Amino acid sequence: MMIDTHCHLNIMTNKEPEALLTAHQLAELETVMAHIHDSGVGHMVCVGTSVPESRNCIAIAERYARVAATIGVHPCDITQPVEVIISELESLINAHRKVIVGIGEIGLDYYHQPYDKHLQEVVFKAQLALAIKYELPVVIHIRDAGDDALAILELYKDTLHGVIHCFSLDKAAAEKIISWGWYIGIDGPITYPKNNYLREIVATVPLTGIFLETDAPFLPPQHLRGKRNCPSNLGIIAQAIADARGVSFEDVVRQTTANAKELFRI
């Protein structure tokens, strides 16, 4: 069985992501869950990007045994002072510790305008400290901010473990991250025709450093572009990694599942 280590099930059933899921919306996920399970995905990590979305990830994880939650505030979703963010996340951890397997997605994003570098750094570091306090791994979002993000993570690499979600940095960065005992997350873009460079990275780094992710409902694989992604497409990512490395699909699944279990303790 594969593990989708990064998806947003909460958004798949909710047209207003910041609103709390209704009982009806939670129940609606039942059919999606059955379809996902039939595709060979045994577990999923539902990743929060704001406090309300983190609450919804928790609600899904408390209802569906195959789902675990991570909680955190994405660099593009900072709407409250850092002290408020941390205290809200902390109360979620204290009330729902059983289903929370990590802090994320957190990080730096200099792509979406306008952005405040200083504020992003403060909120990022505060959440890294929260992860250390509760001994949780981290799910990292980096966009157009590779140098700054890696410089920060370098300070925490020995006290924390984590995954760089939707890896899009260069080969040297991949090797560095994996040498820390961290992971790189591989998503739908591995199937895009132009992405030879990513396939080359995936072909050469150790498989012990790779995570399977869909980022559903975002980033569908090549032949589904323009459509809504679903964790049931995870096998397409595993197959693309197998093809790039010249190994079997089963080998990729076995190792990446072991990797995910080790980091998230699921």
Closest-by-Cβ residue to Zn ion is: 215
Long-range contacts of 146-154 (CB under 8 A, 24+ apart): 146/170, 146/173, 148/108, 148/110, 148/117, 148/121, 149/107, 149/108, 149/124, 150/176, 150/177, 152/108, 152/121, 152/124, 152/125, 152/128, 153/177, 153/182
53 or 215: CB nearest Zn ion? 215
3-state secondary structure of 106: strand
What's the closest the beta carbon of residue 10 comes to Zn ion, in angstroms?
A: 11
Of 154-162, 209-217, 240-248, 251-259, the window that binds Zn ion (rule: CB under 5 A) is 209-217
115 or 218: CB nearest Zn ion? 218
Q: Which residue has the tokens 């995570």?
A: 211
Told to check if 213 binds Zn ion by CB under 5 A, we report no
Of 110-118, 181-189, 214-222, 231-239, the window that binds Zn ion (rule: CB under 5 A) is 214-222
Count of residues that bind Zn ion according to CB under 5 A: 1
Of 36-44, 83-91, 114-122, 212-220, the window that binds Zn ion (rule: CB under 5 A) is 212-220
77 or 215: CB nearest Zn ion? 215
Told to check if 215 binds Zn ion by CB under 5 A, we report yes
What's the closest the beta carbon of residue 53 comes to Zn ion, in angstroms?
A: 10
Residue 42 parent element (H or E): strand 41-47
70 or 242: CB nearest Zn ion? 70
Q: What are phi and psi of 213, to 5 degrees?
A: -140, 150
What's the closest the beta carbon of residue 215 comes to Zn ion, in angstroms?
A: 5
Of 10-18, 148-156, 195-203, 215-223, the window that binds Zn ion (rule: CB under 5 A) is 215-223
By CB atoms closer than 10 A (0-12, 13-18, 19+), residue 266 is: middle
What's the closest the beta carbon of residue 83 comes to Zn ion, in angstroms?
A: 25
Told to check if 53 binds Zn ion by CB under 5 A, we report no
Separation CA 128–CA 91 (nearest Å) = 16
What's the closest the beta carbon of residue 174 comes to Zn ion, in angstroms?
A: 19
End-to-end CA distance of the chain: 13
Q: Which residues pair with 4 in a beta bridge?
A: 44
Of 145-153, 197-205, 207-215, 242-250, the window that binds Zn ion (rule: CB under 5 A) is 207-215
> Looking at the chain, how many residues does it have?
266
Separation CA 146–CA 219 (nearest Å) = 20
Residues 6 or more apart whose CB falls under 8 angstroms from that of 239 comprise 249, 252
What's the closest the beta carbon of residue 109 comes to Zn ion, in angstroms?
A: 12
What's the closest the beta carbon of residue 8 comes to Zn ion, in angstroms?
A: 6
Chain residues binding Zn ion by CB under 5 A are 215
